[in-house]
Amino acid sequence: MKIVVKETEQEASSYVAEIIGTALREKPGLSLSLPTGSTPVHVLEDLVRKHHEEGLSFAKASLFNMDEYLGLGRNHPQGYYHFLDELLYSQVDVDRARTFAPDALDPVPEHAAAAYTKLIQDAGGFDLIFLGIGRDGHICFNMPADSLHPYTHLERLSEKTVADNTRFFDDASEVPTHAITIGLKLVLDSKKIVLLAIGSGKNDIVRELLASESITTQLPASFLRLHDDVTIVLDAAAAAGIELA
């Protein structure tokens, strides 16, 4: 895994935006999966800036949410499709017909999950996936557990994750406890993977991830060690005190 440390959150985010921008320029029809939450905010801002100032085009790209809260529709203000719509799709030249998310309103979530796996596979998988990491080591919403899932599935969120996500909701009781998320095989099938971790809150999990070469279901991000093209981008706060080879 290639590790890149930048001083500030902004610099680390710009580095990731440049990886995405370069991939899009090289392949306008890029198949790209993007995260939500705090981590991608400055990356998405920088992609919007690149669109306006540098003519970066998303018109031919396919964009995939990696997860969606169960029960939240595309227009729900706390939903993840809505998040990417607000911060990226509505501000660039994305073709909305090529923006995808699991159908979290499907009364049978397993059907929605299977349909999403098929959609991704029919698209040929991802060229690039940009990941965040949870403080418990989750990627997408693959939570630490005794076993993990390869494909899209319904996941119960860990207590730590539900607690972390309350900051996006007015009332803690509104925070969804389940999500539909892509699984580890769909992540690892991506041709290229970039993971961004920023801030001191991610320091412990980044230390744990980099401390050992072992792969464990208790730290889902450790599965990235199975992939040959992974770049982990950190700011100084996330990398603090960690010895990097």
Residue 234 beta carbon to ligand PGA: minimum distance, rounded to whole angstroms: 13
Identify each DSSP E strand in the chain by its residue range. 2-6, 31-34, 62-65, 67-69, 99-100, 128-131, 153-156, 178-181, 192-197, 230-235
Q: CB-wise, 13 or 39, nearer to ligand PGA? A: 39
Residue 122 beta carbon to ligand PGA: minimum distance, rounded to whole angstroms: 26
Size of the site for ligand PGA (CB under 6 A): 6
Provide φ and ψ at 193, rounded to 5°.
Answer: -130, 130
Site string for ligand PGA, 26-55 (x = CB under 6 A): -----------xxx----------------
With CB atoms as reference, the residue minimizing the distance to ligand PGA is 37
CA distance 201 to 203: 6
39 CA to centre of own chain: 9
Alpha helices in 58-132 (DSSP H): 80-87, 109-122
Q: CB-wise, 88 or 133, nearer to ligand PGA? A: 133
Residue 142 beta carbon to ligand PGA: minimum distance, rounded to whole angstroms: 10
Q: CB-wise, 102 or 132, nearer to ligand PGA? A: 132
CA distance 2 to 12: 14
Q: Which of 211, 228, 239 is nearest to 3 (CA)?
A: 239
Q: What 3-state class would DSSP assign to 140?
A: coil
- Which parts of 125-154 interact with ligand PGA (CB under 6 A)? 132-134
Q: CB-wise, 31 or 39, nearer to ligand PGA? A: 39
Q: Are 170 and 190 in contact (CB under 8 A)?
A: no
Residue 196 beta carbon to ligand PGA: minimum distance, rounded to whole angstroms: 8
Q: List Cα–Cα distances, 236 to 3, 94, 133, 197, in angstroms.
A: 12, 33, 16, 10
**Could you identify the residue written with the tokens 């994305």?**
94
Is residue 183 close enough to count as binding ligand PGA by CB under 6 A? Answer: no
Q: CB-wise, 34 or 133, nearer to ligand PGA? A: 133
Q: CB-wise, 103 or 136, nearer to ligand PGA? A: 136
Which residues of the shown chain bind ligand PGA in the complex (CB under 6 A)?
A: 37-39, 132-134
